Amino acid sequence: MLNKRIAKIHKSINKIMLITVASLFAFIFLLPMVYTFISSLKSIDEIFTIPVQWIPKEIHPENFIEPFAKKNFGIYFMNSVIVAVTVTLAELFFSSLGGYSLAKFDYRGKNSLFILVLVTMMVPLEVALVPLAIIVRNLGWMNTYRGLIIPVMISPFAIFWMRQFMITIPKDYAEAGRVDGVGEFRIFLKLIMPMCQPALGALAIFTFMGNWNRLLWPLIVASTDRLRTIPVGLVAFEGEFFTPFNELFAMAIAAIIPTLIFFLFLRGKLIKGMAMVGIKS
């Protein structure tokens, strides 16, 4: 009886310590975001006040309006939406085709191709920036949506992700479709893709957030103001002699909202997809 009480006390202590540590990390993570949000509602003078004023004397909603009305943040947002949505849709489709090929077909060189995909996953995009930029320049795609979208619209990770999910789907579904005379592409679209919704939802979140926040590639390809995306616009927002930090913080908060909405909309798919994708060979 005493041992059970001691074990119960130890369990309660461990639970309290876990909650305390998790709360501490959550506080450390959220504090900069809270400061950014509060600063987005301040005047420029209040931002530099020491000690920090956590509650602004007067709320300034114009910090969210001025960059859209007098600067080009409306264009930056539209460019980010076009690039992120287009890349996400393209990556979902083409990576699913690649994953379907690697998961459901047997052909010569398939394993070598899969190993190549795994090796390519280890090479970050930054390593390939220079050759990609040269190719884009030679194709005449600089300062175009094609240059922003096509070179990054499929990734090795996405192929690997879809392949890992599709090998968990029994081959009987595809075989039944072939027996009924259904074409291979229709089997892929009508039978396989609907069963891949959890993996597609999780991959959509990864891809959308990655391309919404991408900085280096748009910075290289888009040198004109009309093609800048949100991250590039935030960098360009800093002036040589003066930076309106209150408006900069406001645009940073505004830039978070689309990814937050997208995540909340597909969070169930993310959890289910992460749980179902196994590391299978």
Tens of pLDDT along 1-24?
556 677 777 777 878 888 888 888
- Has residue 279 got a pLDDT over 50? no
First to last CA, the chain: 49
If you average pLDDT over every residue of the chain, what do you get?
A: 83
Helix axes 62-70, 245-276, angle to 10 degrees: 90
- pLDDT in the model for residue 81: 93
Q: Both tokens of residue 52?
A: 């920090």
Nearest to 158 by CA among 86, 224, 87, 104: 87
d(CA 20, CA 57): 33
Phi, psi (rounded to 5 degrees) for 109: 90, 5
Q: Both tokens of residue 160?
A: 């690997």
More confident call, 104 vs 52: 104
Residues 185, 187, 190, 193, Cα dihedral to 10°: -90
- pLDDT in the model for residue 275: 58
pLDDT digits (tens, 9 = 90+) for 214-251: 888 898 898 888 888 988 888 877 654 567 778 888 88
Phi, psi (rounded to 5 degrees) for 107: -150, 165
Count Cβ atoms within 10 A of the Cβ of residue 180 and give its class: 0-12 exposed, 13-18 middle, 19 or more buried.
exposed
Q: Which fold has domain 62-276?
A: MetI-like fold (1.10.3720)
- Has residue 278 got a pLDDT over 60? no
- Has residue 152 got a pLDDT over 50? yes
Average pLDDT over every residue of 240-266: 79
Task: Tell me if 196 sits within 8 A of 109, measured CB to CB.
Answer: no
Domain ranges of the chain: 2-39, 62-276
Phi, psi (rounded to 5 degrees) for 47: -65, -35
d(CA 114, CA 280): 12
- pLDDT in the model for residue 274: 58
Least confident range of 80-94, 184-198, 206-220: 184-198
Q: Both tokens of residue 235?
A: 């960098």
- pLDDT in the model for residue 183: 79
Count Cβ atoms within 10 A of the Cβ of residue 169 and give its class: 0-12 exposed, 13-18 middle, 19 or more buried.
middle
Q: Both tokens of residue 218?
A: 């748009």
- pLDDT in the model for residue 104: 84
Query: What is the maximum span of the chain, computed from C-alpha positions, in angstroms?
Result: 79
Tally of CB atoms within 10 A around 140: 10
pLDDT level of residue 280 (50, 70, 90 thresholds) = very low
More confident call, 3 vs 202: 202
